[in-house]
Amino acid sequence: MKPAFRKLSLPVSNSFVLKTDDMPLKNPWHYHPELEIIYFHKGHGTRFIGDSVGRLIRGEIFIIGSSLPHTIQRELHYYNEHPGEKPEVIIVQFLPDFLGRDFFKKPEFHSIQRMIAHAKGGLRFSGVVGETIGMRLMQLHTFAPAFRILELISILFELSESEGDYLSSEGFVNVYGELHHTKLNKVYEYSVNHFMERISIEVVSDLANLTPAAFCRFFKARTGKTYLEYLTDLRISFVCRLLAEEKHNISEIAHQSGFQNLSLFNRHFKQAKGVTPSEYQQGLLHGNLTYN
């Protein structure tokens, strides 16, 4: 099953979509030609953007490039325990040329054009920038239509002059534009949905209609990493989210993230982060590390 294509409907009187969303329970992995700005205002959930996965943190802003597969999902366990609460995100969606084909190619908008190019793999803004711009996004609906566009341009410019974090790996970015018509689309979809389980090379190679040996060569050639490296990165990102929540012990986290062997989990984590899971969690607790 490939990422679902979504055709977005523009309001009759507007050139871009502006809405408040509560992260519905069934929010499939999808893509669309529009760029998307997501401001996470409150709640508990997980974001999957390209091959990046992480806990949603209040005050974060994400810019998702055209046709980049993504989804944001509720933390089901939390909302089952708190049925009266709902997450809240502000979403802005617009085509790259919604103001004209060459509008952002003007010299004055060079930084915005550069940011749009970098957003092909997803960008994240947090801290003061995320909170400040987030409040402006929440007020965007109060502007008259013409001033709403001017405010959006101002927001894009300020974000483009700020320091953002790249999300997806270079290997994913190099191939994601072809996901909807290549063998990799089924592999990424399956991996995002099943990385917490045991996944065999035989299963994913069958999804790509290749022998295991041919699949391993194919995946490495297209993404720059082995499938095991990709799957481990996906799991480690999820581990970091669980460590930040401080709700589980290390062995539980290893199991929930798809690692069947605790010693192997510790070794992979230290290779990826330079510290042990316990040291990482303590660093978060004492402010020596920041979760990402």
Percent of the chain, pLDDT > 70?
A: 89
Report whether pLDDT(1) > 50: no
Residue spans per domain, the chain: 4-166, 182-285
Region of 103 (left: φ > 0; alpha: ψ -120 to 50; beta: rest) is alpha
Rounded Cα gap, residues 124 and 218, in angstroms: 30
What lies within 8 Å, CB to CB, of 129 at 6+ separation is 61, 158, 159, 162, 163
Per-residue pLDDT band for 5 (boundaries 50, 70, 90) equals low
For residue range 178-213, list pLDDT tens digits in order: 554 567 778 887 887 788 888 999 999 998 889 999
Q: How confident is the model at residue 109 (pLDDT cuts 50, 70, 90)?
A: very high
Per CATH, which fold does 4-166 belong to? Jelly Rolls (2.60.120)
CB count in 10 Å sphere of residue 91: 17
Q: Which of 4-13, 102-111, 236-245 has the largest mean confidence?
A: 102-111
Query: What is the per-residue pLDDT for 25?
Result: 75
Residue of higher predicted confidence among 134 and 185: 134
Q: What angle, 0 to 180 degrees and rounded to 10, lies between the N-to-C axes of helices 227-245 and 212-223?
A: 70
80: number of CA atoms within 13 Å, CB side?
Answer: 3
Compute the average pLDDT of residues 73-97: 89
Closest CA to 68 of 3, 144, 141: 3
Q: What is the pLDDT of residues 204-263, one digit of tens each?
A: 999 888 999 999 998 888 777 899 988 998 888 888 878 877 667 888 888 888 888 888
Does the pLDDT at position 151 exceed 90?
yes
Q: Quote the CA–CA distance of 99 and 245 in Å, as a whole number.
A: 42
pLDDT at residue 16 in the model: 92
User: What is the H or E stretch that residue 119 is in?
Assistant: none
| pLDDT of res. 125 | 96
Structure tokens at 123: 């960008």
Task: Indicate the range of 52-66, 148-162, 181-195, 204-218 predicted with least confidence.
Answer: 181-195
Closest CA to 187 of 198, 173, 201: 201
Question: Which pLDDT belongs to residue 177?
Answer: 55
Q: How far apart are CA 209 and CA 214, in angstroms?
A: 10
**In terms of pLDDT, which residue wins out, 33 or 4?**
33
Kindly report the CATH class assigned to 182-285: mainly alpha
CA 1 → CA 33, 223, 226, 292, distances in Å? 19, 20, 22, 29
| Predicted pLDDT of residue 208 | 87
Residue 70 has pLDDT above 80, yes or no: yes
Mean pLDDT of 255-278: 88
| Residue 255 confidence (pLDDT) | 86
Q: Is the pLDDT of residue 287 over 80?
A: no
